Amino acid sequence: MFRLGVSWKAGLLFCFAATAAEQPSSLRLVTLEYPPYVEIKDDKPDGLSIWLVEALMQRLQQEHRIEVLPWKRALWQLETGAADAVFPVLKTPGRETKMVFMAEPLTNENVMLFSRCDEAIAFDSELKFLRNKRVCVQQGFSIGLRADELFQTGWMERVNANHQSDCLRMLHMGVARFYLVDRYAGAYVIQQSQYKHVVRPFGEPLEMTPVYLAWNKDSVDEHLITAANDAFEQMLESGEHQRLLQRFQDEVVSR
């Protein structure tokens, strides 16, 4: 008796190929300048998030282009259908109504505070020291669910900045008491600035925040989303994801 020996993953790829005509010939992916995860080098996007997304697109054999935009514009373009995907983005209940998130995060960020070197207040894990303190965050950013709750309840006051470097200036001038950001992003911005002897990490990370690639709900076919989840799982299982994380540690974090 003849038996059709096709695995479910092969069937998935067949379905993906069958619907390829329904997809844009080239996906438009938008992101923000967020060094060292996304930065411009030699007029091209570079950084850990770029490496991970490029590896995913290569596994999918999907034509694409990545554009670096101001963050609020990037989110707006995804929500209006002008872009097909956005990254790296935090998953929140509000965003889940507008986007389809990958099954697994691109990576995890450690959110922590930075302060002036002469900050005298003591860190405590219950974050009592943040009561009524002004904390600088880049405009349009959701830093983490715990931090978002502290802002929303009024426990600490949010001070918005157009750029990460503006938060350093606000710390130096006393406009903000703390600067809240991923630890590697904060350390990178400080090292590149004139404030590297003025600002320091403060205390311990507040939370670990997974960040994702998220798809437009209307412009991207569900077969592509399923195939992307499968391809990313293969990146994890094959060790490719870990190799890119190690490259990030060797080339960026340890330098």
Domain match, 203 and 230 both? no
Domain match, 68 and 98 both? yes
d(CA 159, CA 246): 34
Domain match, 226 and 168 both? no
Domain match, 220 and 174 both? no
d(CA 196, CA 190): 5
Q: Is residue 3 part of a domain?
A: no
Domain match, 245 and 169 both? no
The CATH number that applies at residue 188 is 3.40.190.10
Q: Is residue 2 part of a domain?
A: no
Q: Is residue 219 part of a domain?
A: yes
Domain total in the chain: 2
Domain match, 175 and 215 both? no
CB 47 within 8 A of CB 251: no
| Bond prior to 36 in cis (omega within 30° of 0) | yes
Q: Is residue 20 part of a domain?
A: yes
CB 225 within 8 A of CB 84: no
Return the number of other C-beta atoms located less than 10 Å from residue 40's C-beta: 12
d(CA 27, CA 85): 8
The angle formed by the CA atoms of residues 46, 114 and 249, to the nearest 5 degrees, is 35
Domain match, 20 and 60 both? yes
Domain match, 193 and 121 both? yes
Domain match, 202 and 216 both? no
- DSSP state, residue 131: T
Q: Is residue 22 part of a domain?
A: yes
d(CA 220, CA 136): 35
CB 52 within 8 A of CB 173: no
Range of the domain at 40: 8-107+210-253
Q: 231 phi and psi, to 5 degrees?
A: -65, -40
Give pTM, 2 decimals: 0.86
Q: Is residue 87 part of a domain?
A: yes
| Burial group, residue 18, by CB count within 10 angstroms (0-12, 13-18, 19+) | exposed
Q: Is residue 1 part of a domain?
A: no
pLDDT in tens, the chain (255 residues): 323 333 334 444 444 444 444 555 799 999 999 999 999 999 999 999 999 999 999 999 999 999 999 999 999 999 999 999 999 999 988 899 999 999 999 999 999 999 999 999 999 999 999 999 999 999 888 888 999 999 999 999 999 998 899 999 999 999 999 999 999 999 999 999 999 999 999 999 999 999 999 999 988 999 999 999 999 999 999 999 999 999 999 998 877
Domain match, 135 and 215 both? no
In the chain, which ranges are E strands?
27-31, 39-41, 44-46, 64-68, 85-90, 99-101, 107-116, 134-138, 157-161, 178-182, 199-216
